């Protein structure tokens, strides 16, 4: 297939090998660092603004280091002004956990069904599910409200969690991942007498570690940052999630950026922690470790 180059074994795993190789790595590292500056800048502004006193918020030119650091003051003001910020964080946590577990169950079952079974209407049902991704939520927000109203779910946790337990995106993601799992391994389990649920649980899911990590990162993040849906579905002080709690800090005539950024920073921390924890599943080789178990 490819021309013989006579090069020695190189799994591409080790850092140093030859001069062009090293310089290639150095260049890619430099590119990554340059890109990282742009990626990190708004985040840095968020953290620095969270620590600025009100008088420093609108300075020109923009300063990233506050003259009078006021992190604790802003934190205290945030908790004093926003009635129950911890409550909002807790609500967001509940909603996120509920939706993620729900999607993990419904979407892995469905993804497995679409990836491995032939049944009438399979392609149509899959296409229709994808179709639901194609309607912007702004277009159905009123109708979604009316539906939840009709079934009496407005301002309940059920409204915040249950509709979020189903997902066309996660279905698509997991289906693509399951299609990558070597079928021979599943067939071996079937010959051993396992039913489809057992195959999914014991073979397919363990072999889809990276995809599940990606699913977790994206689903958790989406549930945690969801704004428009909770806003129309359930926005009472008891059911309020943290994104709404932060939006409430904005007045008609005033934008307390420091409090908004402090709230956003607090809300971002759990997502960052989760990413740092899960990103090791994106390290090469983990995928195949399922085989050894």
Partner 1 sequence: MTMIRNALGETPLARRRALWGLALVAPNILGLFFFFGVPVLAAFATSLTEWNVLKPAEFVGLANFVRLANDARFWQALGNTVRLLLMVVPTGVALSLGVALLLNQRVPFRTLLRTVYFLPVVTSTVAASVVWTWIFQPRYGLLGNALAIFGLRDVNWLTRPDLVLIPIAVVTIWQRLGFDMVLFLAGLQTIPRELYEAATIDGANRWQRFRFVTLPMLSPTTFLVSVLAIINAFQIFDQVYIMTARTSRGGVGGSASTLAYYLYDSAFGRFEYGYASAVALVLFLIILAVTVVQLRLQRRWVYYESEHG
Partner 2 sequence: MTRVRRFAIVAIALLSLLLSGMVVAQEDSPTIQAQPCAEPGQLTMWVWDPVWAEVIGNAINAWQEDYCPGAEVELIQQPWEQYWDLLQTNAAGGDLPDVFNMSQDRFYFYADNDALLNLQPYWDEYGVDTTVWGTGLVDPYRWGEDGDLYAGPVNWDTVALFYNKDMFDAAGLDYPTADWTWDDFASAAAALTDPENDVYGASVYTEYQAGYANWIAATGTTPVVDAERTQCTLTEPGSIEALTFLKDLLDQGYMPSVSIQGGANANDAFNYWLNERVAMVSGGSWKLPEAIANATFNWDVVQLPKHPDTGISRPILHSVGYVAASNSDNPDLAANLILYLSSDEGQQFFAEAGGVAPANPALQQQWVDSFGDTGVNISAFVDALPDTQGVTPFAEIWDVMNTDLVINIFDLGMSVEEATQQACDFIVTQLPE
Residues numbered 264 to 293 that lie near partner 1 (CB under 8 A) are 264, 267-268, 271-272, 275-276, 279-288
Region 157-216 residues binding partner 2, contact defined as CB under 8 A? none
> Residues 121-130: contacts with CB within 8 Å, 24+ apart?
126/175, 129/168, 129/171, 129/172, 130/168, 130/172
165 or 231: CB nearest partner 2? 231
Region 89-148 residues binding partner 1, contact defined as CB under 8 A? 105-107, 109-110, 112-114, 116-120, 122, 125, 127-136, 138-140, 142-144, 146-147
DSSP 8-state code for residue 69: -
Q: Which of 94, 154, 218, 231 binds partner 1 (CB under 8 A)?
A: 218
Region 168-187 residues binding partner 1, contact defined as CB under 8 A? 168-169, 171-173, 176-177, 179-184
Region 68-107 residues binding partner 2, contact defined as CB under 8 A? 81
Which string of b and e fits 172-197 if b means at least 16 CB within 10 Å?
bbbbebbeebeeebbeebeeeebebe
The mark string for 46-75 relative to partner 1 (x by CB under 8 A, - otherwise) is x--x----------xxx-------------
Q: Which stretch binds partner 2 (CB under 8 A): 8-16, 51-59, 117-125, 200-208?
A: 51-59
**The three-state (H, E, C) secondary structure of 86-119, written as one string:** HHHHHHHHHHHHHHHHHHHHHHHHHHHHHHHCCC
Place of tokens 């009635």: 83
DSSP 8-state code for residue 293: -
Q: How many residues bind partner 1 (CB under 8 A)?
A: 117
6 or 236: CB nearest partner 1? 6
All residues at 6 or more sequence positions from 206 whose CB lies less than 8 Å from its CB, including other chains: 290, 293
Q: How many residues bind partner 2 (CB under 8 A)?
A: 27
Q: What is the dihedral of CA 232, 233, 238, 244, to 10 degrees?
A: -40
Instruction: Identify whether the C-beta of residue 171 lies closer than 8 Å to the C-beta of residue 180.
Output: no
Structure tokens at 80: 């004093």
Contact between 201 and partner 1 (CB under 8 A)? Answer: no
Residues lying near partner 2 in the complex (CB under 8 A) are found at 54-55, 57-60, 81, 141-142, 145-146, 149, 231-232, 235-237, 244, 247-255
């Amino acid at each position: 297939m490819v021309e013989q180059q006579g090069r020695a074994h190189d799994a591409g795993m080790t850092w140093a090998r030859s001069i062009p190789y090293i310089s290639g790595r150095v260049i890619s590292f430099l590119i990554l660092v340059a890109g990282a500056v742009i990626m990190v800048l708004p985040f840095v502004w968020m953290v620095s603004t969270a620590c600025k006193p009100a008088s420093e918020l609108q300075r020109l030119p923009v300063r990233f280091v506050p003259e009078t650091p006021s992190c604790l003051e802003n934190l205290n003001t945030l908790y004093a002004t926003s009635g129950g910020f911890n409550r909002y964080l807790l609500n967001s946590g509940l909603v996120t956990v509920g939706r993620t577990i729900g999607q993990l169950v419904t979407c892995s079952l469905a993804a497995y069904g679409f990836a491995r079974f032939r049944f009438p209407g399979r392609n149509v049902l899959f296409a229709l599910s994808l179709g639901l991704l194609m309607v912007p939520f702004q277009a159905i927000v009123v109708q979604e409200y009316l539906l939840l109203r009709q079934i009496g779910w407005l301002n309940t946790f059920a409204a915040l969690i249950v509709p979020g337990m189903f997902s066309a995106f996660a279905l698509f993601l997991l289906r693509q991942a399951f299609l990558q799992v070597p079928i021979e391994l599943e067939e071996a389990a079937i010959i051993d007498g396992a039913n489809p649920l057992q195959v999914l649980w014991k073979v397919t899911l363990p072999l889809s570690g990276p995809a599940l990590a990606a699913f977790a990162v994206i689903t958790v993040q989406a549930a945690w940052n969801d704004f428009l849906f909770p806003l129309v579905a359930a926005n009472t002080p008891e059911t309020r999630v943290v994104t709404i709690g932060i939006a409430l800090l904005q007045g008609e005539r005033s934008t307390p950026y420091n409090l908004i950024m402090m709230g956003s920073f607090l809300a971002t921390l759990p997502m960052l922690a989760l990413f740092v924890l899960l990103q090791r599943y994106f390290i090469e080789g983990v995928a195949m470790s399922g085989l050894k178990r």
